[in-house]
Amino acid sequence: MINGESYKVVVAEAAKNALLASGVGEIFERVFIVGPIMDGERCAGAVGFSVRENKFYVFKAKATLVAMGGAVHVFKPRSSGEGMGRAWYPPWNSGSSAYFTIRAGAEMTCQEVRFIPVRFKDAYGPVGAWFLLFKSRATNSEGGDYMVERRPELGNWGPYGRVKPVPANLRNYLGMLDVMDGKGPIYMRTEEALGKIADTYKDDPKAYKKKMKELESEAWEDFLDMTISQAILWASTNLQPEEKGSEIAAAEPYFIGSHSGASGAWVSGPADLQTKDTAPDYFWGYPNMSTVKGLFCAGDASGASSHKFSSGSHAEGRIAAKSAIKFIVENNSLPAVDAASIESLKAEILRPMENYEQHKNATTDPEINPNYLKPRMFMFRLQKIMDEYAGGITSQFKTNGPLLTKALELLAFLREDSQKLAAADLHELMRCWENTHRMWQAEAHVRTMLFREETRWPGYYFRADKPKLDEEKWHVFANCRFDPKADAWEMRTRPMKHVFPQPQEHEMLGG
Amino acid sequence: MPNFETVTVETDLLILGGGMAACGAAVEAAYWAKQQGLKVTLVDKAAVDRSGAVAMGLSAINQYVGLKDGVNTVKDYVDYVRSDLMGITREDLVANIAPTWIPPYTCSRSGASPFGKTSKATLCTRAAGSS
């Protein structure tokens, strides 16, 4: 069984018991949250709908904690026909956190910092065990190891090219340079790595056989515990890891506040970790509260605090919840929500069903209609824009100012057409809103890549018109905010300040 | 078009999501909400048992800092994260989360009361019981 599948149930049980057994809480499942409701500048809760019954939900709250994950399928995935939807990040995380915070008017950070993991190609099996446990190399079609042959390239990326371990995006970049030079495929040399380990037992045939069996089991279990589809792909292509290597590739871009991504809301830090210097910029009363009063974020929803992974996200959820309770105690009034605005949100959220009902008889095929578009086609349009103009897989993660400007032009048309989304049932209604959420994540991403006039994360994206790191001007956060009243985006920088003394050059070299 | 009934729910804290962050939030919020007489509502688009990135296999509990065993310091960890993100990171946020990591229900920064002094020992007992 998948390890995460097993342990998530344990974590969920503790959460459910805490809420239900104590009598303080209630849980609504199968309710899709569309967006925020506001009382002026304060978040007043959320609206959404049941994906199983014809019910529109209004949740009025004194504080709201957003933890709805990051976003995948904003960019065209590698799996676009057979296996469509297969990605490294779970397909149900569709940018709901980003949409919620953006539409509430919260300041967002690191929206340009997408995450691209390198994984076994097409089934996204983890590479960590191979690189770290089995000490495997990855080589190009000519047998060259990009981590060795491309090493001088690291010198072009300031102090970050000299740290150990090499930053995730730079490791990606060295491999991408080989691919762009036409030296693919890149193979994880599983046969070489297993052979080397087994070699140490070559004088003892019995021990050798035992060791090989053990290694083979470990190799397969690594996938079966985490990414069963990779084991299926190996089995269906007759791949024996001890006999030949297996392709690895950079995945399509994802948006997550955890792992080696950083996108999310700009939130207050804790009071006690601030210095005199950082406090004015990083602290505004309640840890993990966004710039919107009463709106808290955790996990993939909060930005600039990477490498949280699963347990760190759990910890951050606890920190944010405690802070939110403090906020409630100190602001103990139910925000006022205007009934007319709720009715208008209800009409807007259900519009895709209205569009479908009104126009469904115009054609004989419900998928094709001159008056509406279905969420699936809408998603393809979004993914094409992002892939071709904003540095997706087919443009080898490269873009530039004019391409990004063109992307914004096309995204504006897409936003206009989002009014014509149509849903035949509740499931499609959810798909309509998931893809609208993705569209807003896309726009925040494009605008911030355009704003940051440098290339800082080659291997995630490369701005060909600004191909270098610019420490003097851009060693700062690039933040954005959507002003709901003006229907306009504002871009700004925030200073990068140190809570801990800055490491000296020799410390960075020492890793 | 079918008629949609409007269901209005009033609560104190609204937690949106059902993954690791939302589950951590639920555990912590329930404790303080009970003490303060508040209500907590969690809403998930699917089912909490299988929500989030972990349930589909992204179960990484990476980079155990090992503070207790003196393996690393919080600063070591912050330096690592900042460098991996090419120099751009909120050190205060990273440092705030780091010591709370593993196991999720032990003494932590999160254990201090937001309402004045509560003994850490009490909170640890509570936390151990809830896991």
pLDDT over 90 (residue A492)? yes
**Pairwise CA distance, residues A65 & A61, whole Å:** 10
> Residue A493 in 3-state DSSP?
strand
Q: Is A185 a domain residue?
A: yes
Confidence of residue A511 (pLDDT cuts 50, 70, 90): very low
Do A147 and A172 fall within a single domain? yes
Q: Is A202 a domain residue?
A: yes
**Pairwise CA distance, residues A113 & A93, whole Å:** 17
Give the model's pLDDT for residue B68.
73
Please choose, from the candidates B84, B102, B78, the residue with its C-alpha nearest in 3D space to the C-alpha of residue B20: B102
Give the domain CATH number at A241. Answer: 3.90.700.10
End residue of a domain, out of A330, A358, A379: A330
Cα of A229 to nearest chain B Cα, Å: 11
pLDDT over 70 (residue B106)? no
Determine, for residues A309 and B60 on separate chains, whether the beta-carbon distance falls below 8 Å: yes
Query: Token pair of B28, please?
Result: 């912590």
Do A205 and A235 fall within a single domain? yes
Chain A residue nearest residue B75, CA to CA: A500
| C-alpha separations of A423 from A160, A359, A505 in Å | 48, 11, 57
Please choose, from the candidates A306, A338, A430, A419, the residue with its C-alpha nearest in 3D space to the C-alpha of residue A376: A430
Mean pLDDT across chain A: 95
Q: Give kind and range of the element (H or E) at residue A25.
A: strand A25-28
- Contact list in B for residue A34 (CB cut-off 8 A) is none
- Contact list in A for residue B106 (CB cut-off 8 A) is none
Is the Cβ of B76 closer than 8 Å to some Cβ of chain A?
no
Do A476 and A436 fall within a single domain? yes
Mean per-residue pLDDT for A135-158? 97
Q: Please, are residues A87 and A270 in contact by the beta-carbon 8 Å criterion?
A: no
Number of domains present in the structure of chain A:
3
**Pairwise CA distance, residues A324 & A288, whole Å:** 8
Is the Cβ of B71 closer than 8 Å to some Cβ of chain A?
no
Would you give the distance in Å from CA A23 to the centre of its chain?
34
pLDDT tens track for A380-398: 999 999 999 999 999 999 9
Is the Cβ of B129 closer than 8 Å to some Cβ of chain A?
no
Would you give the distance in Å from CA A141 to the centre of its chain?
31
Q: Give kind and range of the element (H or E) at residue A373.
A: none
Q: Is A59 a domain residue?
A: yes
Mutate to test the interface with B, among A10, A47, A132, A310 (most CBs of B within 10 A): A310
Give the domain CATH number at A470. Answer: 1.20.58.100
Give the model's pLDDT for residue B102.
43
Q: Is A259 left (phi over 0), alpha (psi -120 to 50) or beta?
A: left
Instruction: Give a three-class secondary structure readout of A97-129.
Output: HHHHHHHCCCCEECCCCCECCEEECCCCCCCHH
Q: Is A507 a domain residue?
A: no
Q: Is A44 a domain residue?
A: yes
Cα of A272 to nearest chain B Cα, Å: 9
Mean per-residue pLDDT for A26-37? 98
Angle between helices A375-389 and A401-417 (to 10 degrees): 170
Query: Token pair of B60, please?
Result: 């990484």
- Contact list in B for residue A357 (CB cut-off 8 A) is 1
| C-alpha separations of A358 from A231, A377, A417, A453, A488 in Å | 47, 19, 16, 46, 31
Mean per-residue pLDDT for A159-188? 96
| C-alpha separations of A310 from A109, A155, B101 in Å | 21, 33, 9
Do A177 and A236 fall within a single domain? yes
Pairing label, strands B40-43, B13-16: parallel
Pairing label, strands A118-120, A246-250: antiparallel
Please choose, from the candidates A290, A265, A289, A268, the residue with its C-alpha nearest in 3D space to the C-alpha of residue A279: A268
The fraction of chain A above a pLDDT of 70, given in percent, is: 98
pLDDT over 60 (residue B123)? no
Residue with tokens 């003892």: A204
Do A343 and A411 fall within a single domain? yes
Q: Give kind and range of the element (H or E) at residue A495.
A: strand A488-495
Do A281 and A323 fall within a single domain? yes
Give the model's pLDDT for residue B111.
42
The pair phi, psi for residue A129, each rounded to 5°, is -65, -35
pLDDT tens track for A175-188: 999 999 999 999 99
Please choose, from the candidates A261, A265, A253, A214, the residue with its C-alpha nearest in 3D space to the C-alpha of residue A105: A265
Give the model's pLDDT for residue A339.
95
Contacts of A204 (CB under 8 A, 6+ apart): none
Mean per-residue pLDDT for B21-28? 98
Confidence of residue B104 (pLDDT cuts 50, 70, 90): very low
Mean per-residue pLDDT for B96-109? 53
In terms of residue numbers, what domain contains A243?
118-250
Do A402 and A485 fall within a single domain? yes
pLDDT tens track for A325-364: 999 999 999 999 999 999 999 999 999 999 999 999 999 9
| C-alpha separations of A280 from A274, A276, A327 in Å | 9, 8, 19
Give the model's pLDDT for residue A508.
55
Domain boundaries, chain B: 1-59, 61-112
pLDDT over 80 (residue A502)? no
Cis omega (within 30 of 0) for bond into A165: yes
Do A176 and A227 fall within a single domain? yes
- Contact list in B for residue A334 (CB cut-off 8 A) is 10
Confidence of residue A222 (pLDDT cuts 50, 70, 90): confident
pLDDT over 50 (residue A464)? yes
Query: Token pair of A326, please?
Result: 């403090």
Give the model's pLDDT for residue B72.
80
Instruction: Give a three-class secondary structure readout of A445-484.
Output: HHHHHHHCCCCCCCCCCEECCCCCCCHHHHCEEEEEEEEC
Residue A154 DSSP class: G
Is the Cβ of B36 closer than 8 Å to some Cβ of chain A?
yes
Query: Token pair of A225, please?
Result: 């515990």
Q: Is A40 left (phi over 0), alpha (psi -120 to 50) or beta?
A: left
Cα of B2 to nearest chain A Cα, Å: 7
Give the model's pLDDT for residue A4.
86
Count Cβ–Cβ pairs < 8 Å, chain A vs chain B: 433
Confidence of residue B115 (pLDDT cuts 50, 70, 90): very low
Do A71 and A126 fall within a single domain? no
Q: Is A169 a domain residue?
A: yes
Give the model's pLDDT for residue A424.
97
Q: Report which residue type is found at A4.
A: G
Helical H runs in A203-286? 205-224, 228-236, 279-282
Chain B residue nearest residue A424, CA to CA: B1
Cα of A199 to nearest chain B Cα, Å: 30
Mean pLDDT across chain B: 78
Q: Is A275 a domain residue?
A: yes
End residue of a domain, out of A330, A364, A390: A330
Is the Cβ of B109 closer than 8 Å to some Cβ of chain A?
yes
Complex prediction ipTM: 0.96
pLDDT over 50 (residue A229)? yes
Do A107 and A124 fall within a single domain? no
**Pairwise CA distance, residues A108 & A443, whole Å:** 12
pLDDT over 60 (residue B101)? no
DSSP chain B: ----EEEEEE-SEEEE--SHHHHHHHHHHHHHHHHHT--EEEE-SS-GGG-HHHHTT---------TTTTS--HHHHHHHHHHHTTT---HHHHHHHGGG-SSTTSS-GGGS-TTS---HHHHHHHHHHH-
Q: Is A486 a domain residue?
A: yes
- Contact list in A for residue B9 (CB cut-off 8 A) is 26, 28, 57-60
Please choose, from the candidates B98, B8, B54, the residue with its C-alpha nearest in 3D space to the C-alpha of residue A15: B54
Burial class (CB in 10 A: 0-12, 13-18, 19+), A138: buried
Q: Please, are residues A124 and A503 in contact by the beta-carbon 8 Å criterion?
A: no
Please choose, from the candidates A221, A247, A210, A280, the residue with its C-alpha nearest in 3D space to the C-alpha of residue A120: A247
Please choose, from the candidates A256, A242, A268, the residue with its C-alpha nearest in 3D space to the C-alpha of residue A299: A256
pLDDT tens track for A85-108: 889 999 999 999 999 999 999 999
Nearest to A46 among B12, B14, B109 (CB): B14
Out of A75-89, A99-113, A337-351, B27-41, least confident range: A75-89
Do A442 and A348 fall within a single domain? yes
Could you tell me the pTM of the whole model?
0.94
Please choose, from the candidates A120, A315, A359, A58, the residue with its C-alpha nearest in 3D space to the C-alpha of residue B28: A315
Out of A1-15, A38-52, A353-367, A472-486, least confident range: A1-15
Q: Report which residue type is found at B107.
A: C
Give the model's pLDDT for residue A215.
86
Give the domain CATH number at A92. Answer: 3.50.50.60
Give the model's pLDDT for residue B107.
35
Confidence of residue B36 (pLDDT cuts 50, 70, 90): very high
Give the model's pLDDT for residue A412.
98
Do A150 and A234 fall within a single domain? yes
